[in-house]
Amino acid sequence: MYRNRYSFIAVGPRAHEDWLLDVASVMRREKADPRGWRGRDPEQGEEELEEDPAFPFRVPPTDEAGAAAWRSRLFQIPRSAVAPLLVMLATDAMDVTRQYGFADRRRGMEEHAQVILSRFPEGSQFFTNTRHGVGHPNFYERVTGCWPMSQYAWDFGLLAVSNDEVGLIWSFDAS
């Protein structure tokens, strides 16, 4: 169980052909959600943001080699795997089925995940940094590893890319 877990949820406009630039903008909290949806930023108002507006993220580099290395830590996942990943991100354990009350809450959690997923139309791309991100992952199984995208040893999440928006839904273990 991760007692010091928290989540970051933000969406920003897609303004560049290379969506990595837009992801960096969302990480730096530069743009508001184009639809006015309320996100979740537990760092809002913290001192760390004064020094680094992207805290706790490691912003993707802009040079070609650095950007390629950053992208290599992402695994593209099919749309059908996104809702279970969102459910996993909403729990406080990385083994969803062992989460207390999961069987009773599963349907409601999946319905909420579908609302978020509906924001990104068919043709959108989805990426994760978990090692379950290969092929057709089952996010209801225990997550065994990740490539951290932040200053923390464990973080995992969803990066969603449409023609109009990019979204980050990320969970951090700050212990």
pLDDT digits (tens, 9 = 90+) for 90-111: 877 667 877 788 889 889 989 9
Q: Hey, what are 40's tokens?
A: 């979740």
Mean of the per-residue pLDDT values of the chain: 86
What whole-number distance in Å separates Cα of residue 66 and Cα of residue 41?
A: 26
Please determine, for residue 66, whether its predicted confidence score (pLDDT) is greater than 80. yes
Cross-sheet strand order for the sheet of 5-13? 5-13, 165-173, 154-161, 125-128, 75-77
Q: What is the mean pLDDT of residues 153-163?
A: 92
What does the pLDDT look like over 108-147, one tens digit per residue? 989 999 999 999 999 999 999 987 645 567 887 777 778 8
What whole-number distance in Å separates Cα of residue 40 and Cα of residue 107?
A: 23
> Quick one: pLDDT band at residue 13, thresholds 50, 70, 90?
very high
Please determine, for residue 1, whether its predicted confidence score (pLDDT) is greater than 60. no
CB 159 within 8 A of CB 70: no
> Quick one: pLDDT band at residue 3, thresholds 50, 70, 90?
very low
CB 159 within 8 A of CB 166: yes
Strand partners, 171: 7, 156
Q: What is the mean pLDDT of residues 57-61?
A: 91
Q: How far apart are the first and last CA of the chain?
A: 11
Q: What is the pTM of this model?
A: 0.90
Please determine, for residue 60, whether its predicted confidence score (pLDDT) is greater than 50. yes
> For residue 118, how many other CB atoms are within 10 A of its CB?
8
Boundaries of every domain in the chain = 5-173
Please determine, for residue 14, whether its predicted confidence score (pLDDT) is greater than 50. yes
